[in-house]
Amino acid sequence: MRYELMVTGFPVSAQYGQETVEQVFHPLLQRLANLPRDRRLIVFLAGPPAAGKSTLAAFLERLAGDMPELPRMQALGMDGFHYPQAYIETHTVLRNGQQTPMRRLKGSPESFDVHALADSLERLRREDAVWPVYDRRLHDVAPDALHVDAPILLVEGNYLLLDDLLWRDLPHDYSVFLSAPEELLRDRLIARKMRGGLTREQAEAFYAECDGPNVSLCLHHSRAADETWQLGRNEKLTRQ
């Protein structure tokens, strides 16, 4: 089945099989609805770049909204916690023993303000608040873009479960990890950069320097989630 969604301000077509919806998505939403709740619940949807997290989070929000027996859920992206572009343009990252301009590694863990993310998540547990988004037309952060008030939040991002001291204690109540074959992610990421105007050679070079290491980091250095979903080469999602 094909669904039309708005993801980060852009129309996106998503296609999920009815079997996946009924056997994977519906049971998750029901499990979340049944979790003990004396405050707002925060659910992480983590996984590598190009695994389809943003589209999936938006779809789960819509699916929950179509099921009146479930509490309202709201999808949020981690990308709004990129450092502002002005910061990225003027800072470096220590990579392989060398200081590398952060703009060349944008999207790596170092290009996110993880402390601001943690503070915002903790605040949302207690009260309604605003949330930043990453504006892909401006290639910069739009602060205070979303008003957050749903009882269950679906927060998606690459590094939410990263096994690293800075990221390890992000507050949440439940987690899903979306995994996928590295070759499939490589093809998707190179195609994404080419759609953005890069030549294949440039896109492959960017993958080798930035996207590829980020994919490997997410797949091999993330903490165990409460459940893991696998995206197959046939684009089918299954619960492991």
Query: Which tokens in the block code for residue 58?
Result: 């938006």
The values of phi and psi at residue 6, to 5°, are -105, 120
The reported pLDDT for the residue numbered 240 is: 85
pLDDT at 38: 87
Cα dist from 150 to 7, 37, 159, 222, whole Å: 18, 13, 23, 27
- pLDDT for the residue 10: 62
Rounded Cα distance, 73 and 153, in Å = 6
The pTM is what?
0.93
3-state secondary structure 72-116: CEEEEEHHHHECCHHHHHCCEEEECCEEEEHHHHCCCHHHECHHH
Residue 1 confidence (pLDDT): 59
Q: Rounded to the nearest 5 degrees, what angle is found at the Cα of 208, between the Cα atoms of 215 and 84?
A: 70
Burial class (CB in 10 A: 0-12, 13-18, 19+), 118: middle
pLDDT tens digits, 137-149: 888 999 999 999 9
pLDDT per residue of the chain (240 residues) written in tens, 0 to 9: 566 666 666 666 777 888 899 999 999 999 999 999 889 999 999 999 999 999 999 999 999 999 999 999 999 999 999 999 999 999 999 988 899 999 999 999 999 999 999 999 999 999 999 999 999 888 899 999 999 999 999 999 999 999 999 999 999 999 999 999 999 999 999 999 999 899 999 999 999 999 999 999 999 999 999 999 999 877 788 998
CATH number of domain containing 201? 3.40.50.300
The per-residue pLDDT for 16 is 84
What is the span of the domain harbouring residue 124?
A: 2-239
Tally of structural domains, the chain: 1
Q: How much is the pLDDT for 137? A: 84
Contact (CB, 8 A) for 145 and 133: yes
Q: What is the pLDDT of residue 166?
A: 92
